[in-house]
Homo-oligomer: A and B are copies of this chain.
Amino acid sequence: MDKTEDKSNQNLFAQFNNKGGRAAAKYSQINRDQNEPVYKQLASILRRQINKGELRPGDRLPSETMLAKEYQVSHMTARKAINLLAEQNLVNSFQGRGTFVKKVQLGSAAFSLHGLQEMFTDEANTSIKLIEARFVYADEKTARKLKISEGHRCIFIRRLLKVKEQPILYHCGYLIFDPSKPVVESELEVTVLKGLFSGTGSPLIKWGELEMEAILLNEEEAAVLGAFLPSSGLRLEHIFYDYYDIPLSWGWFVFRKDSLRLYTKVGLE
A223 within 8 A of B: no
Per the 8 Å Cβ criterion, residues 238-255 of A in contact with B are 238, 240-241, 243, 245
A257–B213 CB distance below 8 A: yes
Instruction: For A23, list chain B residues within 8 Å (CB).
Output: none
Copy tally for this chain in the complex stands at: 2
Q: A104-B196, A243-B13, A243-B53 are in contact. Are A267 and B109 (CB under 8 A)?
A: no
Instruction: For A205, list chain B residues within 8 Å (CB).
Output: 103-104, 267
* CB nearest neighbor in B for A238: B106
* Least distance between A113 CB and chain B CB atoms (Å): 5
Q: Which of A36-44, A133-141, A228-236 contacts B (4 or more CB under 8 A)?
A: A228-236
* Least distance between A226 CB and chain B CB atoms (Å): 16
A31 within 8 A of B: no
Q: A110-B113, A214-B233, A232-B214 are in contact. Are A104 and B56 (CB under 8 A)?
A: no
* Least distance between A81 CB and chain B CB atoms (Å): 15
Q: A231-B216, A232-B215, A257-B213 are in contact. Are A268 and B206 (CB under 8 A)?
A: yes
* CB nearest neighbor in B for A16: B243
B105–A198 CB distance below 8 A: yes
Q: Which of A122-130, A146-154, A157-165, A258-266 contacts B (4 or more CB under 8 A)?
A: A258-266
A241–B269 CB distance below 8 A: yes
A72 within 8 A of B: no
Query: DSSP majority for the A interface?
Result: mixed
Per the 8 Å Cβ criterion, residues 69-106 of A in contact with B are 76, 87, 102-106
Report the Cα distance A198→B58, complex, angstroms.
14
* CB nearest neighbor in B for A103: B199
B210–A240 CB distance below 8 A: no
Report the Cα distance A208→B105, complex, angstroms.
9
A114 within 8 A of B: yes
Report the Cα distance A83→B248, complex, angstroms.
30
A117 within 8 A of B: yes
Q: A51-B206, A267-B205 are in contact. Are A212 and B111 (CB under 8 A)?
A: yes
Having A103-B203, A207-B267, A241-B269, one finds 4 other A-B pairs with CB under 8 Å, namely A206-B269, A211-B261, A214-B215, A214-B233
List A residues at the B interface (Cβ < 8 Å).
Answer: 13, 16, 51-53, 56-58, 76, 87, 102-114, 116-117, 195-203, 205-216, 230-234, 238, 240-241, 243, 245, 257, 261-269
